Amino acid sequence: MSEPRARILVVDDEPQIRKFLRLGLEGHGHAVIEAATAEAALRRAVAEQPELVVLDLGLPDREGFEVLSALREWSRAPVLVLSVRNRESEKVRAFDLGADDYIVKPFGMGELLARIKAALRRRLEGAAAEPVFRVGGLEVDLARRMVRLDDAEVRLSPKQYRLLQVLVSHAGKVVTHRQLLKEVWGAAHADDIQYLRVFIRKLRGRLEADPARPRYLLTELGVGYRLRTPDQLAGG
Amino acid sequence: MRLMPYLVSAAAVAVLALVAHVITRFLPLPHVSVLFLAAVVTSAALWGFWPSVFAAALSVAAGAFFFYSPIFSFMVTSERDVADLAVFVAVAALTSRLAASVRSKALEAQRQRERVAGLLAFSERLAASTTDSDLHAAILEHLEPVLGRPLQLLHPGEAAPAGWRVVPLATERGTAGVLAAPQPGPAADPEYEKALLGQAALAIERARLHREVAEARVKVQGEALREALINSMSHDLQTPLAAILGSATALESFGEHADPRTARELVETIRDETERLASYIENVLDLTRIRAGQIAPRLELVELSDIINAALRRRQKVLREHRVRLELPPELPMLRLDLFLMEHALANVLDNAGKYAPAGSQVSLAASVEGGHVVLEVTDGGSGICAADLERVFDPFYRGPGPEGRPASGTGLGLAICRAFVEANGGSVAALSAGPGRGTTVRMRLPLPAP
């Protein structure tokens, strides 16, 4: 598979961070646009239409979240959020505002490149949604509403299937508790995380060989769940 | 003066006179007066000296009037009867005195008992007071009924309300406080009051000394911690920084002529040292957060396996060369925990397992339900811990010898943070080891949620 190359907008107020991001990303064939403030970020995003945005949450003029929500009003470009603060409430907020991924500083270039690659690939694949999702021995046929595990059909309740369907439609991405609850049970249940945990336990009982060490349906602690793509499964 | 004793004494004498009258009708009784002694003695024993004197006088009068000729007259004519009455008066006087003194001794003993009980209750109440305001309330609560007037407890030097009288609460070391009362009350029992005031003064002083000692101890601990932190920091911050700067400048010095292998090694050093620095800073920040009392667990029902998998993922690098085994019962109940504190605590334990156990050895995680708890054990085949150090490993900055005998890299904060976080979740953690070279088990007990 060829490495996807992209025009990337890097938003961070620290010059030394922008510098190593530019060197690292350009060294791997990406084109880099830089912005040090929220205002500059939005201006350059409109002017240059980046294919991916790397966004720091701590900006001098406005919160990074504001850039994210402003961007989401007109752009579908993947947004990768950076923050020094390993705070889960921030992660949740970023995902709920439409971020695609989240990396905590300090991070390695290798990890960032892998996340960028995955985000770009998801965007490409998302454009041509396959009717059948496959990862490892798991196969979800969205057209025929059929789930197979290691070639044996798996029976799911309608709610369990709906939950899986939502995860499949965001495969590879973290789906927050709120998003899952809203899409499966409706906005009134958006805070029943407890309820969701019980459902995930049941779903894992059906889909995972060892539910205690799930291979497909992963927990993002305090944030939500992620259904792995074949790429991610291979990457470990 | 209370009338009751006198009325009852009079009644007793009257009844005895009647009894004597009945008896003397049937058999001649030469010394009727002896009967009346009963009234005198009883009166003395019950009410003391004066009522018994009153009973004796009445008895003499009744004897003279009813029994000694001429009857129905207070005159006594026979010399023998006069002598009889004189002896009676003498005996009655003596008995009254004796009985009255026995009574007053008994009363004194009783009062003494009450004082001792009062003092005991007071000192117990004082000892049970944990805060200053509680102590003050206890003092006022006990002293007001005894002194019979409203009181205020003031600090030495504090001004009392105008017109109030003040009593200093003095100890050998000075004035602990001042009691103020609106008017001088009658000192019903000055000895007892003095004893109570003395107790109160000592209690106030004890509380003050206790506070000073505690403050001093915190200060000493704070200083010891700061010193340990500075010692540790000077080494743990400077070493990786030196390595990073050295490697980067070495790389720079080669310019375009760097040997690819040398360059890669220098770059790897920069990366490894930066990671070490980052984890060090993270630990120090955690410890600061604990010290600042900012750890407030957010408890929710969670899957233990989610926490374990997140911790394993975080530590996959240090555990890359170990065989990790996970044994969880299939229907392990959900636990009420703070996800992140517990994940962090477990990640620190796994970090130690990775560092102290040789590559290729097994690290196992096993959970089981025991009574009202879930027990999670992390066992490694590493350098182990000698019995004397099993508790010390949880002290901040303690570092055990690594696989090669040298202290392992790290801050010595991991298990201290682990213990603080597990305890914040209502659990407990202990280290077990069969001894040096025989592996370590870290055992975490986490409470099951109430059904």
B315 in the same domain as B286: no
Give chain B's largest Cα–Cα span: 152
Number of structural domains found in chain B: 3
Q: pLDDT tens-digit profile of A183-194?
A: 999 988 888 888
A residues 207-226 closer than 8 Å to B (CB): 211-214, 218-219, 221-222
B287 and B311 assigned to the same domain: no
- Identify the CATH number of the domain in which residue B285 sits: 1.10.287.130
Q: Which two tokens stand for residue A183?
A: 């899409």
Of B261, B291, B321, the residue at which a domain comes to its end is B291
- HSE-up of residue B136 (Cα within 13 Å, Cβ side): 14
Above 50 in pLDDT, residue A1?
no
Note whether B108 and B177 are within 8 A (CB): no
pLDDT of A52 reads 96
Give me the residue label for tokens 């290798």.
A110
pTM of the model: 0.58
DSSP conformation class of B405: S
Residue B230 domain boundaries: 223-291
Distance CA B238, CA B335 (A): 41
Average pLDDT, chain A: 88
Note whether residue B200 is domain-resident: no
Q: Is residue B52 part of a domain?
A: yes
On whether both B252 and B382 belong to a single domain, the answer is: no
Q: What is the pLDDT of residue B92?
A: 82
Residue B43 vs residue B362, higher pLDDT: B362
Q: Is residue B140 part of a domain?
A: no
Give the residue from A196, A156, A194 showing the smallest Cα distance to A179: A196
pLDDT band at residue B135 under the 50/70/90 scheme? confident
Q: Does domain A132-235 have CATH number 3.40.50.300?
A: no
Q: Report yes or no on B332 lying in a domain.
A: yes
Instruction: Specify whether B316 is located in the same domain as B400.
Output: yes
Other C-beta atoms lying within 10 Å of the C-beta of residue B424? 18
Ordered by start, the domain boundaries in chain A are 7-127, 132-235
pLDDT score at A176: 92
Calculate the CA dihedral of residues B9, B14, B19, B20 and round it to 10 degrees.
100
B73 against B446, higher pLDDT: B446
Q: Assign B230 a pLDDT band (cuts: 50, 70, 90).
A: low
Residue A3, pLDDT above cutoff 70? no
B307 to chain A: which residues are within 8 Å by CB?
221
Query: Residue B89: pLDDT above 70?
Result: yes
Min distance B333 CA to chain A CA atoms (Å): 11
A214 contacts in chain B (CB < 8 Å): 309
Same domain, yes or no: B324 and B341: yes
Q: CB B303 to CB A214 under 8 A? A: no
Q: Among A88, A201, A213, whose Cβ lies nearest the Cβ of B340? A: A88
Residue B246 lies inside a defined structural domain of this protein: yes
| Together in a domain, B323 and B280 | no
Q: Are residues B230 and B358 in the same domain?
A: no
Q: Is the pLDDT of residue B187 over 70?
A: no
**Strand A138-141 to A132-135 pairing:** antiparallel
User: pLDDT tens digit string along B58-84?
Assistant: 888 888 888 777 777 777 778 877 888
pLDDT band of B401, cuts 50, 70, 90: low
Do B255 and B350 belong to one domain? no
Judge whether B318 and B409 are in contact, CB under 8 Å: no
Please count the residues of chain B.
Answer: 451
* Strands B440-447 and B152-154, bridge-based pairing: unpaired
DSSP codes joined into one string, B65-114:
IIISSSTTSS----HHHHHHHHHHHHHHHHHHHHHHHHHHHHHHHHHHHH
Residues B309, B355 within the same domain = yes
The reported pLDDT for the residue numbered B347 is 93
Q: Do B306 and B287 have their domain in common? A: no
CATH architecture of the domain with range A7-127: 3-Layer(aba) Sandwich (3.40)
- List, for residues A15-62, the tens digit of each pLDDT value: 888 888 888 898 888 999 999 999 999 999 999 999 999 999 888 888
Q: What is the CATH number of the domain that holds B358?
A: 3.30.565.10
Same fold, A7-127 and A132-235: no
Say if B206 falls within a structural domain.
no
Per-residue pLDDT for B387 more than 80? yes
A88-97 tens-digit pLDDT: 778 889 998 9
